[in-house]
Structure 1
């Protein structure tokens, strides 16, 4: 529990640090200075422009294309993260037994608990930090892409389908779809996770809070960012379906069985 809280705080700190490296309204160009601008934001912006021109100046398709490229590049990390999470879930019963066995809070007992826990990790070849690393690695890339979309002036000058990429969706279609797909992806990601009541309550709370936050942001942000969220979420749904297929089918069967009993 403490590790999860520390991870969330750490990621929030990284996001604030990266967001504060430069003004998000400052256009990104080849002359933009700083490591963040030169090696992350500008290359992503240049890729969006190049791909959009390849599609005949269609910046909507350019954003979709780069979103898919990034998600595919991060796919191995996401698979590793899911495998690590499943491995941690598998040894939870034994970890709970150790915690019950060494429940005393004195230093000697806690040291013994730590030793036994590390031995358990070694026995099953589980790295408790392996699930965190993919998140830490992908965060700068995803935030950099967000900056690239926001600060590439060419994007604001083009339209795609029914909306202008530089202005919010006038019909709120993208924000609503972004919220719905965020909910679906998170719901699918929770399949097979046997959390304790406290963790389950927190995950359920985030399940509803995150989609609402995405909708609020998408209503006020340029439609280009909403498009990025929608495409990324759709990719995530397909990705989660194939990676967590057995867990999803098991959860569906359990829900169906519970419905029949009622």
Structure 2
């Protein structure tokens, strides 16, 4: 119970409340769809539930399947919002621990099995002491991957979605004007860049990643139906705004600069006090 309370305190009431509303919205959408969507077995039932929810949301907007995907994507992003908050909190704690982790890596610099084992044990003890989960970054991805796969399969299994249209798009086919792939890449770059800028300790890899991910998303979006690309565009836009709110790099940089200024002022004051005593 104490662990759950700590987890709830870390995430906060609002993300949990929004996630609860998203779950209610997804279930309500599923229940509001009166048609039949086939699906057998655990995975088949999940895909069926997924498609029924999209079609249910679409019925709220005059059977606009594009709007159904847009709203359903927002539901999914709100549902995983607590995990994203937890992930970003863990990332901040990991950044604070970086100097101590470097000390441990220097202490156990050997490549033999015993040294590597000792390093892993020391790192785990450090993570546990500060309440940090090094695997927190994987949680949102683990939730989103089944959703993305179900969406892709659902489009191919649902003749209704496959034949749907939205703006200039045929949801079952690729975007003929490449607008969605470009937007998906831009929003991916935006969220990755903001997250990278918020990290005070950057290396060559962290600096280049914001430029690699957009290319992967762009070329993947060229090969998938527009419905999947639309999911990526809305999801990545949501994540970019979310990253700016939760991990505003400009605010974090200002706070770090103010902290450094205070530390320098304290050091100067200490040096003056030391010189006065010597006199």
Given that 1:218 and 1:226 are in contact with CA atoms closer than 8 Å, whether structure 2 keeps it comes out as yes
Q: Residues 154 and 252 from structure 1, CA distance in 2 versus in 1: closer, same or farther, beyond 3 angstroms?
A: farther
Q: Which secondary structure does the structure 2 equivalent of 1:126 belong to?
A: coil
1:101 aligned onto 2:107: yes
Q: Is the 8 A contact 1:188 1:248 kept in 2?
A: no
Shift of 1:178: 1.6
Match in the other structure for 1:175: 181
Larger radius of gyration: 2
> 1:145 deviation in Å?
3.0
**CA deviation vs aligned residue, 1:62-98 (integer Å, no higher than 9, x gap):** 1101111111001001111111111111101011112
Give secondary structure in 1 for the equivalent of 2:80.
helix
Is 1:225 equivalent to 2:228 in the alignment? Answer: yes
Q: How far is the alpha carbon of 1:252 from its aligned partner?
A: 8.6
* 1:51 corresponds to 2:51: no
TM-score for both structures, normalised by structure 1: 0.74
Distance in structure 2 (CA, Å) of the matches to 1:98 and 1:69: 42
SS in structure 2 at match of 1:91: helix
Deviation (angstroms), 1:224: 1.7
Alpha-carbon offset, residue 223 of structure 1: 1.8
Pick from 112, 117, 137 the counterpart of residue 131 of structure 1.
Answer: 137
- How far apart, CA to CA, are the structure 1 residues paired with 2:47 and 2:221? 21
Answer yes or no: is the 8 Å Cα contact 1:80–1:134 preserved in 2: no
Task: Indicate the larger mover: 158-167 or 90-99.
Answer: 158-167
- Contact 1:63/1:224 (8 A) holds in 2: yes
- Is the contact made by 1:181 and 1:233 (CA closer than 8 Å) also made in structure 2? yes
Distance 1:222 1:54, change over 3 A: same
SS at the partner of 1:122?
A: helix
Q: Deviations over 1:25-62 (max 9, x none)?
A: xxxx7433332111x21111001111112211111111
Select the residue among 146, 155, 168 that pairs with 2:152.
146
- Residue matched to 1:35: 42
Question: With CA pairs under 8 Å and 6+ residues apart, which has the higher RCO, 1 or 2?
Answer: 1
1:235 correspondence with 2:233: no
Match of 2:251 in 1: 249
> What is the match of residue 214 of structure 1?
217
| Matching residue of 1:66 | 72
Taking structure 1 as reference, are residues 229 and 109 closer, same or farther at Cα in structure 2, changes over 3 Å only?
Answer: closer
Distance 1:214 1:30, change over 3 A: same
The structure with the largest helix share of the pair is: 2
Residues 47, 151 of structure 2: 8 Å contact kept:
yes
Aligned residue pairs, count: 221
SS of alignment partner, residue 177 of structure 2: coil
Gaps of 5+ in 1: 1-28, 255-262
